[in-house]
């Protein structure tokens, strides 16, 4: 049925049709809905049953549990702070209503720019933004205004992605660049104590909280030397203040299982991030430099989310098998080190991943070169 419809409207979009300028939009929608039946005409290549659009759909599915729990958590935080009793559905509906505009804005701006660039350069639409567009709303605090989000999305799509040649060419993870832009440009709206709980009613749901209501994240508290009282259960289920999608460890674990089962994410990278974080956390804990234990460090903040969804990004991570261990280990280690050693940044995952994105090509290069050298030596003998 979908195919018939697409075939019927196709002539309008081809050369000479009246909607020619929307060709890229049509093309994008067609290949998104149906598996394209064109294959490469030159060279020998092995084709998998899934192409990159299908991969992206799996990542989106893997992100959904964390997003849904995040939505519920927004409602939970709001109703708890107001001291109002409410059912599960009401809380979820409020969170959904608050989050949906952010997702829509992120997709509208990001895909808009991608469509314009694709049309301009007469290329196909790249599908990479499907995942980025969902991750960006999930890694910002709920109090982030929509116009800032739109600005950050535009900045990251243009300067972190299109400038390097679009999907698959970028050095830095675009979602993290968007967050870094917000973090440095609008520090008051991205960190601190007043942005983590939604304070206004929306569409008749939720409660108005008093002006100046503050609620710090557990990591923020630990950074300022206050004792953290969040219980272990809350850390696992995610019922604590934080960025929208990063709080629930269980939901992220479901996503991780999907990614690993479909082999989209590399277990080597993921595992070594956790190992690096745990070891450095243990080190700081034994030196008494942090009030948190090593496992609390891993459970809190964006550590899990970063390790599962951002460090394993196939474009920006190291690609050599050995390099993945080093890349992942250093991300985990740096993230905890930044958290503990730099009082200005209670959260270090974003900076750690961006930093290692920069070094991924170097790691790959060293591994490839050392392999070449080894083999050359063997050949000489």
Partner 1 sequence: MSKLFSKENREVFANPLNLDNPVTVQVLGICSALAVTAQLEPALVMGLSVTVITAFANVIISLLRKTVPNRIRIIVQLVVVATLVTLVSQILKAFAYDVSVQLSVYVGLIITNCILMGRLEAFAMQNGPWESFLDGVGSGLGYAWILVAVGFVRELFGAGTLLGMRIIPESMYVENGGWYVNNGMMTMPAMAMILVGCIIWAHRAYNDRKASKQ
Beta carbon of residue 183, minimum distance to partner 1 (angstroms, whole number): 9
The reply to whether 164 sits near partner 1 by the rule CB under 8 A is no
Q: Is residue 47 a contact point for partner 1 (CB under 8 A)?
A: no
Indicate whether 212 belongs to the interface with partner 1 (CB under 8 A): no
Residue pointed to by tokens 């808009």: 112
d(CA 366, CA 169): 20
Rule CB under 8 A: choose which of 40, 188, 233, 286 binds partner 1.
188
- Give 2-30 as a DSSP string: HHHHHHHHHHHHSTTSTTGGGHHHHHHHH
Q: How far apart are CA 248 and CA 67, in angstroms?
A: 9
187 binds partner 1 (CB under 8 A): yes
Cβ closest to partner 1, residue 22 vs residue 159 = 159
- Cβ proximity to partner 1: between 214 and 231 the closer is 214
Asked if 186 is part of the footprint of partner 1 (rule: CB under 8 A), the reply reads yes
Please, what is the minimum distance in Å from the beta carbon of residue 187 to partner 1?
6
| DSSP secondary structure of 265-292 | S-HHHHHHHHHHHHHHHHHHHHTT--SS
Scanning the structure block, which residue is given the tokens 């104590």? 193
- C-beta closer to partner 1: residue 181 or 305: 181
Of the candidate spans 140-148, 246-254, 323-331, 370-378, the one that interacts with partner 1 by CB under 8 A turns out to be 140-148
Q: How far apart are the first and last CA of the chain?
A: 65
Rounded Cα gap, residues 141 and 197, in angstroms:
8
CB of 337 to partner 1, least distance (A): 22
**C-alpha span between 234 and 231 (Å, rounded):** 5
String of contacts with partner 1 for each residue 251-270, x by CB under 8 A: --------------------
Q: Which is nearer to partner 1, 159 or 295 (CB)?
A: 159
147 near partner 1, judged by CB under 8 A: yes
Contact of 376 with 331, CB cutoff 8 Å? no
How far apart are CB 125 and partner 1 at their closest, in Å?
Answer: 23
184 binds partner 1 (CB under 8 A): yes
| Closest to partner 1 by CB, 187 or 343 | 187
159 near partner 1, judged by CB under 8 A:
yes
Using the rule CB under 8 A, is 196 a contact of partner 1? no
Closest contact distance (angstroms) between CB of 279 and partner 1 is 32
Q: Which residues of 144-164 are buried (b: 16+ CB within 10 A; e: fewer)?
A: beeebbbbbbbbbbeebbbee
Is residue 247 within a helix (H) or strand (E), and if so which, with residue range?
none
Residues 234/52, Cβ–Cβ less than 8 Å: no
**Smallest separation, CB 209 to partner 1 (Å):** 16
Residue 189 Cβ vs partner 1, minimum distance, rounded to whole Å: 6
How distant, in Å, are the alpha carbons of 58, 163, 294 from that of 319?
Answer: 20, 22, 28
Binding site for partner 1 (CB under 8 A): 145, 147-148, 159, 181, 184-189
């Amino acid at each position: 049925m979908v195919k018939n419809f697409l075939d019927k409207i196709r002539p309008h979009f081809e050369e000479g049709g009246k909607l020619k300028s929307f060709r890229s939009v049509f093309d994008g929608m067609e290949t998104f809905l149906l598996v394209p039946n064109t294959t490469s005409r030159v060279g020998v290549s092995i084709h998998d049953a899934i192409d990159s659009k299908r991969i992206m759909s799996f990542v989106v599915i893997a992100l959904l549990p964390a997003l849904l729990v995040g939505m519920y958590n927004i409602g939970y935080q709001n109703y708890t702070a107001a001291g109002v009793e409410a059912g599960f559905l009401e809380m979820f509906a409020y969170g959904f209503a608050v989050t949906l505009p952010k997702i829509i804005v992120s997709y509208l701006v990001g895909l808009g720019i991608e469509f314009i660039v694709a049309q301009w350069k007469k290329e196909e639409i790249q599908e990479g933004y499907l995942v980025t567009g969902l991750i960006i709303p999930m890694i910002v605090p709920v109090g982030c205004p929509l116009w800032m989000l739109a600005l950050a999305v535009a900045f990251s799509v243009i300067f972190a992605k299109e400038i390097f040649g679009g999907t698959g060419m970028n050095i830095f993870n675009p979602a993290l660049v968007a967050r870094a832009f917000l973090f440095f440009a609008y520090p008051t709206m991205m960190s601190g104590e007043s942005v983590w709980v939604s304070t206004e009613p929306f569409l008749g749901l939720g409660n108005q909280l008093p002006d100046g209501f503050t609620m710090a994240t557990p990591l923020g508290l630990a950074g300022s030397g206050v004792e953290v009282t969040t219980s272990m259960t809350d850390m696992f289920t995610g019922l604590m203040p934080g960025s929208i999608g990063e709080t629930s460890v269980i939901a992220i674990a479901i996503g991780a299982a999907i990614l690993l089962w479909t082999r989209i994410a590399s277990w080597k990278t993921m595992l070594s991030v956790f190992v690096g974080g745990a070891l450095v956390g243990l080190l700081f804990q034994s030196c008494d430099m942090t009030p948190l234990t090593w496992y609390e460090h891993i459970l809190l903040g964006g550590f899990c989310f970063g390790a599962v969804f951002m460090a394993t990004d196939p474009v920006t991570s190291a690609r050599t098998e050995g390099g993945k261990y080093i890349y992942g280990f250093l991300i985990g280690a740096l993230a905890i080190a930044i958290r503990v050693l730099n009082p200005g940044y209670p959260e270090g995952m974003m900076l750690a991943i961006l930093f290692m994105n920069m070094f991924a090509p170097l790691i790959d290069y060293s591994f490839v070169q050392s392999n070449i050298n080894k083999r050359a030596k063997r050949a000489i003998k």
